[in-house]
Amino acid sequence: MAGPLSGLTIVELAGIGPAPMCSMMLGDMGADVIRVDRTKAHVMDRLADPKFAVHNRSRRSVSIDLQKKEGVEVVLRLIDKADGMTEPFRPGVAERLGLGPDICLARNPKLVYGRMTGWGQEGPLAKAAGHDINYIALTGALHAIGSKDKPMPPLNLVGDFGGGGMLLAFGMVCGLLEAQRSGKGQVVDAAMVDGAALLLGGIYGMAGAGLWSDERESNMLDGGAHFYGTYETKDGKHVCIGSIEPQFYDLLLDKTGLKGETLPAQMDRKAWTQLKTKLAGIFKTKTRDEWCAIMEGTDICFAPVLSMKEAPDHAHAKARNAYVDVAGFAQPAAAPRFSRTKESVKGPAARRGQHTDEILGERGFSTKEIGELKAAGVVGPQA
């Protein structure tokens, strides 16, 4: 069976970071995503081979020069029969190109128009440049992560991908569902600063209840607690534990040989540093594999800290087919999983303009028109 979004067409104006991840998710779920790439190489073409751009997988590519009015008209003809589109530009750029929501929705009133920005479409920072680290800094997320002496960016997972790409994908699906009922499209304003704040909602709740401190490494989930964190093992590797619940903590004490000792209470914050030191010494007595043999699969809430090279080979990942080989290397499989309308990776990222003739032909452009557009540099050949 085709994926759950089979039959839907999304036009994606090419970008980097969160917007491509959104389109990958929609494509993995069966949508026909048409990526509108530039006609010439760009700073975004960072990888020698596009197959390594994982977030560009599961869709086709057409290359169009958006600086030419004829190119804009080609995109509008693609949008005429699309269910949705996404754009990754700073506020006002799509409007200047002639591809803003007013024009696109006038052409296709059922269109769901997704906008992916860092700061949102309005506000004093809306038109400023930024990256993941800046957006999560403004929400409190960056301040909450790291060691006592300094914040530490959690890669670009929280702003770009969790608070950005996934938020836009959710917004697009919500808009597409509503359009099926109302027959009307609308604009989805997905901002990474909003999404990152939303991800932090539970921590804001704990802070409101007086259960969270602004001081890093002093809370239950930020490395402050001895029962929730990482420990180095004898071989220089690491394991992690999350023994929050009393019964899980009791099992941790049993497996580490501490059960029966007179210890401070689990939630005695004043004793956490002392207990972390004690556990650190114990975990250093065995290798990571030895601790896995003792703890993995138990209710301690334990896992080895694997590298990206190791993760695909773990027994649990293999049992769930959590990683797939696409174009010769392992990458995360499509998710979430569906029992009937199966999700799947359609293939590696296309080369820039790889499907230009195919896509334009499907949208009613004649062979002569396509030839003329190529000759004028409006659409480009395959990169």
What pLDDT is attached to residue 48?
63
Mean pLDDT of 41-46: 62
Picking from 36-40, 117-121, 223-227, 290-294, which range would have the lowest pLDDT averaged per residue? 36-40
**CA–CA distances in Å: residue 332 to residues 5, 141, 311:** 19, 25, 10
Active site residue 160: yes
Residue 295's pLDDT band, with cuts at 50, 70 and 90, is: very high
Over 60: is that where the pLDDT of 16 sits? yes
Q: Which of 131, 238, 250, 314 is catalytic?
A: 131
Residue 45 — pLDDT band, cuts 50, 70, 90? low
User: What band does 149 get if pLDDT is binned at 50, 70 and 90?
Assistant: very high
Q: Which two tokens stand for residue 323?
A: 């990683």
Grouping H, G, I as helix, E, B as strand and the rest as coil, residue 353 is coil
DSSP H helices, the chain, are 18-28, 69-80, 93-97, 101-107, 132-139, 141-144, 166-182, 192-199, 201-208, 246-255, 272-283, 288-295, 315-319, 356-362, 367-375
Q: Beta-carbon neighbour count of residue 341 at 10 Å? A: 13
pTM of the predicted model, to two decimals?
A: 0.95
Grade residue 208 by pLDDT with cuts at 50, 70 and 90.
very high
Radius of gyration of the chain (CA): 25
Assigned fold of 228-232+238-304: formyl-coa transferase, domain 3 (3.30.1540)
- Of 28, 37, 65, 160, the catalytic one is 160
Task: Give percent above pLDDT 70 in the chain.
Answer: 98
| Superfamily (CATH) of domain 9-199+324-375 | Crotonobetainyl-coa:carnitine coa-transferase; domain 1 (3.40.50.10540)
In this prediction, residue 42 carries a pLDDT of: 67
CA dihedral 98, 101, 107, 112 (to 10 degrees): 140
Is residue 224 predicted with pLDDT exceeding 60? Answer: yes
- Longest Cα–Cα distance in the chain: 85
Does the pLDDT value for residue 169 go beyond 90? yes
User: Is-catalytic flag, 80?
Assistant: no
pLDDT at 236: 98
Helices (H) and strands (E) in the chain, counts: 15, 13
Give the mean model confidence (pLDDT) for residues 79-101.
Answer: 97
- Mean pLDDT, residues 331-358: 96
Domain extent listing, the chain: 9-199+324-375, 228-232+238-304
Question: In the structure encoding, which two tokens stand for residue 272, read together?
Answer: 């956490």
